[in-house]
Every structure is written in C-alpha cells, then in structure tokens.
C-alpha cells in the first residue's frame, strides 16, 4: 500500500505541482472568498462579467482538487448581501451563473459524489437562480462526498441577527431562559452549523478583510490571503494554502 505522502506526490506530479501535503491532516472545512473577478477582467480590457464567467470555471477546478485531497466541505462566497449595490446588469449576470454552472457541471458533480448546498437569504434572489440551486441540492442530497456549500446572498451580520431574533422569540415565548443561552446554542443557529467551523479561510485578490463572511464561524480559523485574482487561482495555489495551514501551530488560546 502506498503511504499518504507517496500517494500525493504522485498526484502532485500529475498536476505538475510542487508542495507536498500530508493527506492525513487536510482541513475538513475550507471557506473561500473568491475575489478579484472584476480586476482580472479590467486588466485584460474586458467587461467585469468576463471575470465572473472565468471565475466559474475556477470553482469547478477547485472543487475537483478539494475532492481529490479528501476535504469534507468547501464553502464558497458567491454573492454577499452587500453585492446588491453593484450595477444591475452585473448583478443579473452573477445571478445567472449558478444555473449556468449547474447545467454545465452538475452531471460531473453527481458522478463525483458531491453534495451541493446553499446558505444565505433566499428573499430577493431571482426565482431562476433558486430553481437551479434547489434542483442541484435535491439531486445531490444523498451524495456523501465533498459538500459544496454556496454562500449566495449571504451576510454574516444578517445571519447573526436572525439567530438573535430566533433566540429572543424563544425567550419571549417562555421556552428558554436568557441565562441558558450559550455558545453552542448560538452556533446551532448559524447556517453552516452541521458542517462545522472552517479550519482554513482563503481570500484571493489581495484584499485583507472578511467582508461580512462567517464572522461567528471564523473565530479560530487560519486565514490565508493571496494577491492572485480568483480567475487565475490554480490547484497549485490551493495546495499552497493547505500546505501553509499544515505548517501552522494552532493553539486555540492554549500553549
């Protein structure tokens, strides 16, 4: 039997990559802020939407890689509650991408045992977008491979506010005492609760901020930033992030 390192060295050779990863220590849940589509396009004299289209292909590539590495879940920030501020044609284009992505790739994702999920506020999202995503969720719900969790119309403050509201209602109705509210309970109201907190967060494009993404869940997550624009992000970049993660000392406040 091949050992865990040999195995991956072979995989790395196949995709012409350099870093050696320990497959027994890959993060279970990786979250990605896919940023830089617009600037990627601008640099090429293309409209911003060209960057979004290119970015969609990269999602496919990284999902395949994550699956190869045995990662359990990938949460991808696709559209934030703040992104409605963008010009209407751009928003419309982005909202058509999930359908395009799934028409193109759903058969392959099913083949690869991927389970598609969505987190975010559905209100305001066009019905054609929801229809495509719900269909993918339904058709893949029994798959037990990689969880591909799209954050669509997602905002962390919205998520936390909804959680507080639900808890307040429980107290109001006499089902819960305020002194019994604890971290676990609050966490259980987060949309990604059953996936667990991400061990690693990746953000592309050189911006060093969270932009309202998973504020509760990222409390002890390892953060990894790169200047690479999302459409240029490669499997090798992804591997580098995992490699860095594997070389960090996670202490969680201990020694």
33 binds ligand IPE, rule: CB under 6 A: yes
CA distance linking residue 205 with residue 146, whole number of Å: 25
Q: Report the residue number, 105 or 233, with the smaller CB distance to Mg ion.
A: 233
CA distance linking residue 183 with residue 205, whole number of Å: 33
Q: Report the residue number, 211 or 246, with the smaller CB distance to ligand IPE.
A: 211
48 binds Mg ion, rule: CB under 5 A: no
Cβ atoms of residues 203 and 30 within 8 Å: no
Task: Kindly give the residue spans of alpha helices, DSSP state H, lying in the chain.
Answer: 4-14, 37-43, 48-69, 88-111, 127-140, 156-172, 183-188, 235-246
Strand partners for 149: 75, 117
35, 197, 199, 239: residue in contact with Mg ion (rule CB under 5 A): 35
> Can 22 be counted among the known catalytic residues?
no
Q: Binding to ligand IPE (CB under 6 A): which residues in 206-245?
A: 207, 209, 211
Question: With the C-alpha atoms ordered 95, 100, 103, 105, is the resulting torsion angle positive or negative?
Answer: negative
Q: Which of 192, 187, 213, 188 is nearest to 201 (CA)?
A: 213
User: 118: which DSSP letter?
Assistant: E
Task: Kindly name the residue from 12, 22, 35, 227 that is annotated as catalytic.
Answer: 35
Cβ atoms of residues 109 and 140 within 8 Å: yes
> Can 16 be counted among the known catalytic residues?
no
Task: Kindly name the residue from 16, 72, 83, 149 that is annotated as catalytic.
Answer: 83
83 binds ligand IPE, rule: CB under 6 A: yes
Least separation in angstroms between CB 153 and ligand IPE = 10
119 binds ligand IPE, rule: CB under 6 A: no
78, 102, 136, 191: residue in contact with ligand IPE (rule CB under 6 A): 78
Stretch that binds ligand IPE, among 3-11, 116-124, 136-144, 203-211 (CB under 6 A): 203-211
Which residues of the shown chain bind ligand IPE in the complex (CB under 6 A)?
33-39, 77-80, 83, 94, 205, 207, 209, 211
Q: Annotated active-site positions, please?
A: 35, 83
Residues near Mg ion (CB under 5 A) are: 35
């Amino acid at each position: 039997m091949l050992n865990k390192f040999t195995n991956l060295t072979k995989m790395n050779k196949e995709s012409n990559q350099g870093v050696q990863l320990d497959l027994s220590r890959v993060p279970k849940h990786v979250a990605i802020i896919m940023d830089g589509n617009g600037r990627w396009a601008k640099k090429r004299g293309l409209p911003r939407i060209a960057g979004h289209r290119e970015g969609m292909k990269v999602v496919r590539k990284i999902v395949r890689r994550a699956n190869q590495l045995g990662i359990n879940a990938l949460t991808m920030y696709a559209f934030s509650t703040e992104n409605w501020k963008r010009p209407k044609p751009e928003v419309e284009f982005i909202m058509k991408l999930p359908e395009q992505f799934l028409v193109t790739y759903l058969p392959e994702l099913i083949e690869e045992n991927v389970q598609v999920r969505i987190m975010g506020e559905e209100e305001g999202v066009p019905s054609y977008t929801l229809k495509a995503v719900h269909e993918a969720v339904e058709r893949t719900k029994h798959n037990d491979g990689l969880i591909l969790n799209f954050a669509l119309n997602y905002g962390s403050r919205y998520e936390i506010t909804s959680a507080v509201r639900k808890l307040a209602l429980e107290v109001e109705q006499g089902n819960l005492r305020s002194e019994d509210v604890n971290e676990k309970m609050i966490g259980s109201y987060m949309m990604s609760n059953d996936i667990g907190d991400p061990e690693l967060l990746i953000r592309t494009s050189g911006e060093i901020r969270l932009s309202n993404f998973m504020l509760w869940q990222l409390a002890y997550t390892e953060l990894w930033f790169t200047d690479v624009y999302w459409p240029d992000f490669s499997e090798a970049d992804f591997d580098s992030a995992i490699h860095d993660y594997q070389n960090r000392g996670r202490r969680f406040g201990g020694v």
